[in-house]
Amino acid sequence: MLSIKNLHASIAGKEILKGLNLEVKAGEIHAIMGPNGSGKSTLASVLAGREEYEVTDGTVTYNGKNLLELAPEERAGEGIFLAFQYPVEIPGVSMMNFLKTAVQEIREYRKQDQLDAKAFLQLVKEKQKLVEMDTKLTNRSVNEGFSGGEKKRNEVFQMALLEPSLSILDETDSGLDIDALRIVANGVNKLRNKNNAFVVITHYQRLLEHIVPDFVHVLHQGKIVRSGDKSLALELEEKGYDWLKEATV
């Protein structure tokens, strides 16, 4: 599904990713952990197509296509979804208008029929229920005045609505209390199936108690320095990152 080979990326001339390799297959959940500044969020941004990041070397293919050549909206159409670490507030753009535009554009890209108003509302209702989102929130502007937890839930809600094949959760757990964390994780678990995959970027093992990964990777200085199964996350939790750094030197 996703194949990243020797990925180098920089921002403002500073190299952040220094030869990253990662293979993700359908049905898998990958966790990416690592200390601050190791390049976790850069990876998420590069995959979603943020223009400030420059890819200097390496390849990223997604379902056989060169992902790096695609515009962000085309990547979304191909099935990539980034749950933002800091979802953006957009005053003046109503949630419903935003969701409708996104759903219809993605359906157009995927050559699916447009939804009529009734079918769209039905879909919104169904997915709202799935992520236990307050229906009042869809009457507001995009993320405007949402609490931290509501913003993150809104990300999972959009994920449910757009039915991506690969979801990248960029520190979705940061700033969440236990209840919100559980709701977000439940949403992800309900969306999970054998045809889609998740890349979960996180600092802490906490989220991985709720979203159980098949693989755990440790990112350090722009490279994956160690991969393992979910027990690696527990090991990191216990020992911190220092021992890993020393081991790699």
| Closest separation in Å from C-beta 50 to other proteins | 6
d(CA 247, CA 249): 6
Nearer to other proteins, 93 or 123 (CB): 93
d(CA 201, CA 30): 8
Nearer to other proteins, 4 or 168 (CB): 168
d(CA 154, CA 84): 10
| Closest separation in Å from C-beta 80 to other proteins | 9
| Closest separation in Å from C-beta 165 to other proteins | 13
Nearer to other proteins, 107 or 182 (CB): 107
Tell me which residues touch other proteins (CB under 8 A).
48-51, 71-73, 75-77, 81-82, 84, 87-88, 90-93, 97-98, 101-102, 105-106, 109, 141-142, 158, 162
Nearer to other proteins, 97 or 114 (CB): 97
| Closest separation in Å from C-beta 100 to other proteins | 10
Contacts by 123-129, CB closer than 8 A, 24 or more apart: 123/161, 124/96, 124/99, 124/161, 127/157, 127/160, 127/161, 128/157
User: Which positions ≥6 away from 133 have C-beta within 8 Å?
Assistant: 150, 153, 154, 157
Contacts by 33-39, CB closer than 8 A, 24 or more apart: 33/201, 33/202, 33/203, 33/205, 33/216, 33/217, 33/218, 33/219, 33/233, 33/236, 34/218, 34/219, 34/220, 34/241, 35/220, 35/241, 36/203, 38/219, 38/220, 38/221, 38/222, 39/219, 39/221, 39/222
Nearer to other proteins, 88 or 117 (CB): 88
| Closest separation in Å from C-beta 36 to other proteins | 21
| Closest separation in Å from C-beta 242 to other proteins | 34
Nearer to other proteins, 109 or 204 (CB): 109
